[in-house]
Amino acid sequence: MPIGAAGIGNVGLRLFARIATLIGMTGFDANEHLLPFRDGPGYGAILFDRTQVRQPDPQWFDPAYWGDAAQVVGEGGRGGAWFIDFGEGDAFLRHYLRGGLVAKLSHDAHLWRGIQHVRSFAEFRLLRVLRNKKLPVPMPFAAWYRREGLHYRAAILMQRLPDVHSLGALAADEQAPWAAAGELVARFHRTGLDHADLNAHNILFDVAGQGWMIDFDRSRLRIPATAWREANLLRLQRSLRKLAGRHSIARVDAEFGLLRAAYQQAWDRGY
C-alpha cells in the first residue's frame, strides 16, 4: 500500500527518511517525486514525474492488475513487456528480467546493491536527461522497485510509441531507412549515449519516418570515444545478421554499410 505523508507511523517515517536520503545522494530534478510503500514483508518506492502522473499505485506495475488492458509485447527481448491501455493514452510496461544461466534460478530477482543501483530508477532518469537533450526517446512515466531481503524486482512504465516498426522488421521487408538509421545513431553518440544493447529491435521508425531509440537499461552517458562507439555499431551489425532470414550475410553487410556511411557523414558534420 502507498505511504502517505501523514499517519504512516514511526516505521513508515524511518523507511521514508532512509529512501529519501539515499535518493538524495544520487540527485534528481525538481519534477521528480518519490512514493515509498510497504507490501507485506517487502518495501519499495515509485519514482515519477508528477507533471505526467498524478498519483501512481504499486499495482500499476503488475500486468495482472490491468487485465485485458495489458497486451503482451511479442517482438524482441526476453519477454516481460506489455502494452497498457493506461486511460490517459497508451503506455508501455517493462519488467527487468535476468538473462543467461542466472535466469534459471530467478528470472526477475536482482541482488540489492543500494537504491543508487536500482535499474528502473537509472533508466527513468536517463530517459529524462535524453529528452531534455531533445533526443527522440519515449517519455518515462514512473519507475518502481520492490525489495525483499537481499533481492529486489523492478519495472518501468513509459510512453508507448504509436505506429512504429523496428529496424529489423523494416529490413526484413526491404524497407529499412539505412541512412536515417545511421544518422540517428550518430546523433545519440554525439551526446555521449553509450547504449548497452544497441540492436535492430531498439531502433524504431514511425509512419512519418521519425526515428526513435528505446531500451536504455544499463546504458550511460560518456565522453564520446571511438572504442565504445565502434562496439555499439558492431553489436547492431551482429543483430542484423541474426535477423538475416532469407537474405545473405553479404547483403546484410552491404546494407549495413549504407547505415555506417551515413553515420560517419553525420559524425563528421558534428551534429
Kindly list the catalytic residues. 197
* Nearest C-alpha neighbor of 232 from the set 271, 258, 202, 269: 202
Q: If you search the block for the grid coordinates 525489495, which residue do you land on?
A: 147
CA 100 to chain centre: 19
Q: 151 with 111: CB under 8 angstroms?
A: yes
* Nearest C-alpha neighbor of 155 from the set 65, 69, 75: 65
Which grid cell is 194? Answer: 553509450
C-alpha to C-alpha distance for 156 and 169, rounded to whole angstroms: 25
Q: 184 with 193: CB under 8 angstroms?
A: no
